[in-house]
């Protein structure tokens, strides 16, 4: 008498490999998906490019004649060179908005549920969004620099410091994208994310040395501005580009602007990247 094995067979799905190679591979796949999606909606890209150009033209030609740079009052075009680093850093800070809106839109459409069913690294999903948005910010930065050259901005310190300044600003954009990712995952609604990603950022940017010298501010406000991460990034960019940057402050971030800017970027990434990944994992597990 033959016996039949009644032990049920099990079908196993491919394991979710969370190693570094898997994370990098999934990150690049998601990043390319988002980049292709952005290219199919050119209107969004156009508006993203127009905003920084408008800021350059407005501040250069509307406010430029009324604002004096300390120590360079008699130098023609001094404020335009002083201005451009502030515009660059402001735009990199505003990278919060596309990251928050993009991830909130993915959650709203149920895309996270689709990714959850795939054998892919969870951190790769959110990192892919950050990388694709960083690529967009790089293009925006190039366009702004071309616009800056048109209005009179110049680089005076050579190629290597210039590349260092560009790299520092992209690192700052990378850090702010993680902040935007956390906001987008927290609110889960694209309309709310658009406001939550920017409403707090305007006072942070304007309470800095981006557009006016802190020396003109009241003492308490000036102290806040000198320790503002935006101020450190702007001062570092001016130093690396060789633009008008006469610093009379004794505050450590202003005297060591490049080091302070790097430290701020590391701190922001170190705090917000793990929080964003944890928030994504929590949202995906619901």
Over its C-alpha atoms, the chain yields an Rg (Å, rounded) of 23
89: which 2 tokens? 């850093």
Query: What are the pLDDT digits (tens) for 235-254?
Result: 999 999 988 666 667 889 98
- In the predicted model, is pLDDT for residue 135 greater than 50? yes
Give the model's pLDDT for residue 17. 46
Residue 191 lies in a domain: yes
Residue 280 lies in a domain: yes
Residue 2 lies in a domain: no
Nearest to 98 by CA among 138, 69, 62, 155: 138
Residue 87 lies in a domain: yes
Cα angle 235, 238, 241; round to 5: 150
Give the model's pLDDT for residue 56. 83
Domain of residue 266: give its range.
29-64+76-284
Lowest mean pLDDT among 10-24, 104-118, 141-155: 10-24
Query: What are the pLDDT digits (tens) for 180-236?
Result: 999 988 886 888 888 887 888 989 999 998 888 888 788 899 999 999 999 999 999
Residue 131 lies in a domain: yes
Residue 177 lies in a domain: yes
- In the predicted model, is pLDDT for residue 16 greater than 60? no
Residue 22 lies in a domain: no
Number of domains in the chain: 1
Helix (H) or strand (E) holding 230: helix 229-241
Residue 18 lies in a domain: no
Lowest mean pLDDT among 112-121, 123-132, 265-274: 112-121
Average pLDDT, integer, range 54-68: 76
Give the model's pLDDT for residue 8. 42
């Amino acid at each position: 008498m033959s016996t039949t094995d009644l032990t049920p067979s099990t079908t196993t799905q491919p394991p979710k490999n969370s190693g570094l190679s898997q994370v990098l591979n999934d990150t690049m796949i998601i990043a390319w998906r988002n980049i292709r999606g952005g290219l199919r909606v050119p209107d969004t890209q156009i508006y993203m490019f127009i905003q920084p150009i408008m800021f350059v033209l407005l501040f250069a030609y509307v406010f430029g004649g009324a604002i004096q740079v300390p120590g360079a009052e008699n130098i023609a075009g001094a404020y335009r060179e002083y201005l451009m680093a502030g515009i660059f850093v402001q735009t990199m800070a505003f990278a919060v908005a596309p990251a928050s809106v993009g991830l909130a839109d993915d959650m709203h459409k149920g895309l996270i549920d689709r990714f959850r069913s795939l054998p892919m690294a969870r951190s790769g999903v959110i990192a892919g969004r950050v990388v694709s948005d960083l690529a967009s910010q790089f293009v925006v930065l190039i366009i702004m620099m071309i616009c800056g050259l048109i209005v009179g901005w110049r680089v005076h310190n050579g190629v290597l410091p210039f590349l260092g300044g560009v790299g520092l600003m992209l690192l700052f954009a990378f850090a702010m994208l993680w902040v935007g990712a956390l906001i987008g995952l927290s609110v889960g609604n694209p309309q709310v994310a658009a406001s939550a990603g920017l409403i707090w950022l305007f006072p942070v940017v304007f309470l800095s040395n981006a557009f006016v010298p802190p020396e003109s501010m009241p003492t308490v406000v000036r102290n806040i501005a000198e320790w503002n991460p935006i101020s450190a990034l702007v001062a570092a960019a001016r130093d690396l580009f060789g633009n008008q940057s006469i610093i009379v402050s004794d505050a450590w971030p202003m005297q060591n602007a490049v080091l302070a800017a790097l430290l701020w970027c590391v701190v922001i990434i170190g705090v917000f990247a793990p929080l964003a990944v944890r928030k994504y994992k929590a949202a995906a597990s619901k």
